[in-house]
C-alpha cells in the first residue's frame, strides 16, 4: 500500500526504535494508551502487548482492514480524525498516555488536544520532526526556546530519547526525527491556564522586543519591580527567563 503524502504518512520500520517508543512507559491494567496514526500497525503490535487498554485513531480508511486485527477485548481501532473526535468520555481509566509516531504537520494540535484533558494525562512519548522536538525540550537563552516550550514545562518534564534518521522510515522523509518523552510532574501549581497561555503569547509575540514592550497591557512599574525580584534587567526578553520565572511574573501581575 503506497503511503499518502497528503496524510503525512512516513511509516516507521526500525524495530529497535519501535520497541523503545512502546516501552518508554510502564503502564498498568487500568491505564489507557492512545495511538494517533497507527498506519500499518508497526507500533501497535507492541502497544497491544502492554497490560493497559489501547485506542488507535486512524484517518486513512484504506488502512483500517490491516488494523482490524487489533480490535480485542482491551484494544480498539477507530476510523476517524483524532483532532475532531470527542475524547472527553474515553473508556474508564486511571492514567492516560499518548504514545505515537504522529503525523508531523499536526504534532502541536495533537498535543494541545490531549492537554485539554489535564489531570489524567500521565505522559506522552512522541516521534516528531527533530527541529520540533528540540523546541519542546529547549532551554532559556536558546533560539528554540519559546511560548510552547514554557507551556509544556508547566505540565511535564521533557526529555529526548534519541534521534531517528530518515532511513528508519518508508518513505524516507527529508529531515531527521527525534523521540520526545513527556513525564507529568508530581506537583503542578493551580493557576489560570488560559490566562497563562495568553500571557506567554504576549511575552513571546516579538522575540526581538523586551518584556516591557511585549507586555504593555500590564502595569509597567509592577513588571519592572518583579523583574528586579528575579534579578533580571529591565531590558530582559522572554527567551531569557525560565518557566518558573515567567510563571512568577504571570501570577504576580495577574
Beta bridge partner(s), residue 75: 54
For residue 251, is pLDDT > 90? Answer: yes
> What mean pLDDT is predicted for residues 219-223?
95
User: What pLDDT, in 10s, does the model give residues 120-169?
Assistant: 789 999 999 999 999 999 999 999 999 999 999 999 999 999 999 999 99
pTM of full prediction above 0.85: yes
Contact 47, 22 (CB under 8 A): yes
18-38: average pLDDT: 96
Fold classification of 193-253 (topology level): Helicase, Ruva Protein; domain 3 (1.10.8)
The predicted pLDDT at position 114 comes to 87
Measured CA distances, 95 to 59, 87, 189 (Å): 25, 14, 19
Coil vs helix vs strand at 97: strand
Q: How confident is the model at residue 9 (pLDDT cuts 50, 70, 90)?
A: low
Report yes or no: 252 and 230 within 8 Å, Cβ to Cβ.
no
Q: For the chain, what are the domain ranges? A: 5-184, 193-253
- Are 5-184 and 193-253 in the same CATH fold? no
Q: What is the pLDDT of residue 116?
A: 81
Angle between helix 243-253 and helix 147-155 axes, rounded to 10 deg: 90
Q: Give the CATH fold of the 5-184 domain.
A: Rossmann fold (3.40.50)
What pLDDT is recorded for position 92? Answer: 83
The pLDDT confidence band at residue 41, using thresholds 50, 70 and 90, is: very high
Query: What pLDDT, on a 0 to 100 scale, did the predictor assign at position 155?
Result: 94
More confident residue, 171 or 244: 244
Q: Which of 29, 38, 27, 197 is nearest to 124 (CA)?
A: 27
Amino acid at each position: 500500500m503506497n503511503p499518502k503524502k497528503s496524510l503525512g504518512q512516513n511509516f516507521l520500520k526500525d524495530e529497535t526504535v519501535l520497541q523503545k517508543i512502546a516501552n518508554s512507559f510502564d503502564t498498568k491494567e487500568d491505564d489507557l494508551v492512545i495511538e494517533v496514526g497507527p498506519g500499518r500497525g508497526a507500533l501497535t503490535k507492541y502497544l497491544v502487548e502492554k497490560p493497559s487498554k489501547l485506542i488507535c485513531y486512524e484517518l486513512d480508511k484504506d488502512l483500517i482492514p490491516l488494523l482490524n486485527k487489533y480490535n480485542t477485548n482491551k484494544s480498539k481501532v477507530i476510523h476517524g480524525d483524532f483532532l475532531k473526535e470527542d475524547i472527553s468520555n474515553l473508556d474508564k481509566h486511571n492514567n492516560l498516555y499518548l504514545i505515537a509516531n504522529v503525523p508531523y504537520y499536526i504534532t502541536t494540535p495533537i498535543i494541545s488536544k490531549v492537554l485539554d484533558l489535564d489531570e489524567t494525562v500521565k505522559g506522552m512519548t512522541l516521534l516528531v520532526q527533530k527541529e520540533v522536538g528540540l523546541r519542546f525540550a529547549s532551554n532559556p537563552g536558546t533560539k528554540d526556546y519559546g511560548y510552547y516550550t514554557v507551556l509544556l514545562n508547566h505540565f511535564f518534564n521533557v526529555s529526548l530519547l534519541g534521534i531517528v534518521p530518515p532511513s528508519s522510515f518508508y518513505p524516507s522523509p527529508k529531515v531527521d526525527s527525534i523521540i520526545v518523552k513527556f513525564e507529568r510532574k508530581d506537583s503542578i501549581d493551580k493557576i489560570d491556564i488560559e490566562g497563562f497561555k495568553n500571557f506567554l503569547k504576549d511575552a513571546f509575540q516579538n522575540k526581538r522586543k523586551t518584556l516591557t514592550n511585549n507586555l504593555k497591557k500590564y502595569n509597567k512599574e509592577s513588571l519592572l519591580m518583579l523583574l528586579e525580584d528575579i534579578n533580571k534587567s529591565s531590558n530582559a526578553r522572554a527567551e531569557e527567563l525560565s518557566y518558573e520565572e515567567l510563571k512568577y511574573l504571570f501570577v504576580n501581575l495577574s
